């Protein structure tokens, strides 16, 4: 399973309520049309920014998702959100451990510690990803900005300092 994450900020003059309404309506319409390989999507607010998460079965589903986002009944909502945004950036991540849960409202971004093997990293994080609603996501092929890893959980977690964790609470809109 993969997640395409599009992080964005609204333009300064944007009415936040209207922005969030457009985003909610866009995701609802995408869920109704269900392009091939699409699993689910949602938007989170993190401080003054937003993060759209699109779960897909595989990289093959990205073409269908991209086409579906800007065509048919979704085009108007997509274009309205794009006009209201000041900037945005995308990232592609794969599920490394755990089970995705779009209701999980805590995330911790972090880099892989220098010199640590991925097998050791995964072993150290098993205690977190074994919890219900927890998932470890890993950036693919350096497609997108850092951090490389993102642990998503239902409740707050404290990773050891060696991970240089950046915790964020998020609110699903």
Regarding whether 68 and 49 lie in a shared domain, the answer is yes
Regarding whether 66 and 11 lie in a shared domain, the answer is yes
Regarding whether 125 and 85 lie in a shared domain, the answer is no
Write out the residue range of the structural domain in which residue 61 sits.
Answer: 2-93
Q: Does residue 167 have a cis bond before it (omega within 30 degrees)?
A: no
**For residues 138 and 144, what is the distance between their CA atoms, to the nearest angstrom?**
11
Q: Where would I find the H helices in the chain? A: 16-33, 61-69, 75-84, 118-129
Regarding whether 71 and 111 lie in a shared domain, the answer is no
Render each residue's pLDDT in the chain as its tens digit; 173 residues: 999 999 999 999 999 999 999 999 999 999 998 999 999 999 999 999 999 999 999 999 999 999 998 887 788 888 888 888 999 999 999 999 999 999 999 999 999 999 999 999 999 999 999 999 999 999 999 989 999 999 999 999 999 999 999 999 999 99
**For residues 88 and 7, what is the distance between their CA atoms, to the nearest angstrom?**
5
Q: How many domains does the chain have?
A: 2
* Domain end call among 93, 111, 131: 93
Regarding whether 10 and 28 lie in a shared domain, the answer is yes
* Domain end call among 66, 93, 120: 93
* Domain end call among 54, 73, 93: 93
Number of other residues whose CB lies within 10 A of the CB of residue 123? 10
CATH of the domain at 82: 3.30.70.100
Burial class (CB in 10 A: 0-12, 13-18, 19+), 135: buried
Regarding whether 101 and 70 lie in a shared domain, the answer is no
């Amino acid at each position: 399973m993969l997640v395409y994450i599009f992080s964005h900020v609204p333009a300064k003059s944007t009415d936040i309520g209207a922005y969030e309404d457009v985003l909610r309506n866009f995701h609802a319409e995408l869920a109704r049309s269900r392009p091939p390989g699409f699993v689910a999507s949602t938007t989170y607010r993190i401080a003054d920014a937003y993060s759209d998460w699109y779960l897909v079965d595989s990289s093959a589903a990205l073409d269908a998702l991209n086409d579906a986002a800007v065509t048919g009944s979704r085009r108007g909502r997509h274009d309205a959100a794009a006009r209201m945004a000041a900037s945005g950036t995308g990232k592609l991540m794969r599920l490394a451990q755990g089970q995705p849960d779009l209701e999980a409202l805590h995330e911790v971004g972090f880099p892989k510690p220098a010199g640590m093997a991925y097998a050791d990293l995964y072993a150290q994080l098993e205690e977190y990803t074994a919890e219900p609603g927890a998932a470890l996501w890993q950036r693919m092929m350096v497609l997108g900005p850092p951090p490389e890893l993102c642990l998503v959980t239902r409740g707050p977690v404290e990773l050891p300092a060696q991970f240089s964790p950046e915790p964020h609470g998020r609110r699903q809109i």
